[in-house]
Amino acid sequence: MKNIINILIALCLVLPAKAVKRITCIGASITYGATLPNPATQSYPAQLQKLLGNGYEVSNFGVSSATLLRRGDLSYWSTDAYQKALKSNPDMVFIDLGGNDAKAVNRVHLDEYEKDYHDLIRSFAQLPSHPRIVLLLPIPSFQKDTNQIYDKVIVNSIIPKLRNVAYDEHLELIDLHSLFVNHEDWMPDKIHPNLEGTAVTAKRLYDVVVQQRDIAFNVFDKMNQQIKESNFYGYPCAEFTFDGRDSKVVKPKWAAKGHPWVWRARFWGHEPQTDIALLERGFHIVYCDVAELLGNNEAIGYWNDFYKMLTGAGLGKKAVLEGMSRGGIYMYNWAAVNPNKVSATYADNALLDLKYWPDSATLKKDFNLNRASDIGSLKVSPIDQVEQIVKGGFPMLHLSADDDEAVDPSKNTLLFEQKVNALGGSITVIHKPGFKHHPHSLPNPTPIVDFILNATGYAIPAPN
């Protein structure tokens, strides 16, 4: 027995201990945890540590009032925390710098922001550990003093520069600004989050750390299309012509397992916050312009070809369909023909009955009508095809502005909802009291994003 014990002890000495993943958080007062009763346990890095558990070591190198700018009034470059962060030899780095750069005293140097950010990134990228680096957009400032951290500067200057840096460096970018934009209640002093806000941040970063990734997949290489690449809010966008139609595919910085995707039906880039949030989570965003075919057989034919090309290139066999306004016609008419190729739908103030489309000339042309009076007898709209749509068994989300002056909810979303429910389908309607047709979406797209993640099986629960 003694010999067995000695052998086991020897094996424990020889076998390496399970490696702990080191996560380094650099930033300013929000990272440090300023204004919280106990920053050591309540800052978002501290809460991230609790969520991740023993397999991780999360270090907080936040410095209150620090700027990204080298020539800022308190440059992070000149702090001891920066040197300690470099020496931490991290496996992963979260960078949350930019809010203090929006102060009037620092704005005069903002033309240097991108260069300084590139240099900061490279100082970590060249470390022996070659860490995964993730950039964070600053959260909003609700301060009214335009000389201090002013949100218009964050939105109109800092964030676009950060997106450029993320695109150039091929790095992930997490939009914390949208997560807080409708939660001034989380920020008692208008600039620092309370415990609820830091908990939301920690959970978002937890999802980033633990989500399964396919870093090898590159849809651009597999589409067999001649593309021109552009920058879509920090993400690579392939622009090309497919079957004579203008088309686009935006790829995430890494693909989620199974290569999920969102098919934008119409109005490319309009109110893109949901698309951006899903790109962060490894979804692709695609578009094939079939305007103004209004979901007729020709449009469905083009989309069938586009679907075949994309799935042949490795995207998942089921798409999330996204339609704003008359985009609802396009996506649901395709879904009615292809119900088993849809994982979920998101419709936004959607037109669902072509009888109410005001351009009678286009309707006559698209559906080979002889007289404008024939429009009233058209049965080619989603509202007429609910039975076929429901066969797909996929969940549907609708945003509906109660005062929509362009698309009457009672004749479109609300009637569609009644028909779906009568047939046992799955539909959720989020009402927007007091809103008209515009703006679409939500400033904070979390309810939409959560619906899609749950519908497609990509939601990440918090650990027990």
pLDDT per residue as tens digits for the range 102-117: 999 999 999 999 999 9
Give 215 or 4, the one with higher predicted confidence.
215
272 part of a folded domain: yes
Inside any domain, residue 89? yes
- Do 203 and 220 sit in the same domain of this protein? no
Assigned domain for 305 exists: yes
Residue 11 in domain: no
Domain with 434 in it: what CATH number?
3.40.50.1820
Does 349 lie in the same domain as 231? yes
Instruction: Find the Cα–Cα–Cα–Cα dihedral 266, 267, 273, 279, rounded to 10°.
Output: 50
- Whether residues 202 and 66 fall in one domain: yes
Q: Residue 461 falls within a domain, yes or no? A: no
Distance CA 146, CA 142 (A): 10
Number of compact structural domains in the chain: 2
Among 204, 212, 208, 210, which residue's Cα sits nearest to residue 44?
Answer: 204
Question: Is residue 401 a contact partner of residue 437, using CB atoms and an 8 Å limit?
Answer: yes
- Res. 359 pLDDT band, cuts 50 70 90: confident
236 with 351, same domain?
yes
Instruction: Specify if 406 maps to a domain.
Output: yes
Question: How many CA atoms lie less than 13 Å away from 262 in the CB half-sphere?
Answer: 32
Residues 443 and 321 in one domain: yes
425 & 321 share domain: yes
User: Smallest Cα–Cα separation from 275: which of 309, 259, 251, 254?
Assistant: 251
Name 321's bridge partners: 263, 345
Q: For 35-86, what is each residue's pLDDT tens digit?
A: 999 999 999 999 999 999 999 999 999 999 999 999 999 999 999 999 999 9
- 60 with 206, same domain? yes
Assess whether pLDDT exceeds 70 at residue 17: no
Determine the pLDDT at residue 18. 52
Residue 464 pLDDT level (bands cut at 50, 70, 90): confident
Across 186-212, average pLDDT: 98
| pLDDT bucket at 15, cuts 50 / 70 / 90 | very low
* DSSP 8-state class, residue 401: E
Q: What CATH code is carried by the domain that includes residue 159?
A: 3.40.50.1110
Q: How far is CA 447 from CA 397, 428, 444, in A?
A: 10, 11, 8
Q: Sorting pLDDT into bands at 50, 70 and 90, what band is 19? A: confident
| 3: confidence class by pLDDT, cuts 50, 70, 90 | low
What's CA 299's distance to the chain center, in Å?
28
Write the pLDDT tens digit of every residue in 368-410.
888 767 777 888 999 999 999 999 999 999 999 999 999 999 9
Structural domain of residue 129, as residue ranges?
A: 19-210
Q: Are residues 153 and 58 in the same domain?
A: yes
Domain end marker among 186, 210, 234: 210
Tell me, yes or no, whether 178 and 270 share the same domain.
no
Mark whether 307 and 393 lie in a shared domain.
Answer: yes
- On whether the pTM is more than 0.85, the answer is yes
**Of the candidates 160, 183, 210, which is a domain's last residue?**
210
Q: Which of 181, 210, 239 is the last residue in one of the domains?
A: 210
322 domain residue, yes or no: yes
Residue 49 burial (C-beta neighbours within 10 Å; 0-12, 13-18, 19+)? buried
Residue 464 belongs to a domain: no
Instruction: Give residue 341's identity as a one-letter amino acid code.
Output: K
Please indicate, yes or no, whether residues 185 and 272 belong to a single structural domain of this protein: no
Alpha-carbon dihedral of residues 71, 75, 76, 79, nearest 10 degrees?
A: 120
171 CB neighbour count, 10 Å cutoff: 18
**Residue 1 banded pLDDT, cuts 50, 70, 90:** very low
Q: Which of 87-96, 243-252, 350-359 has the lowest mean pLDDT?
A: 350-359
Same domain, 164 and 266: no
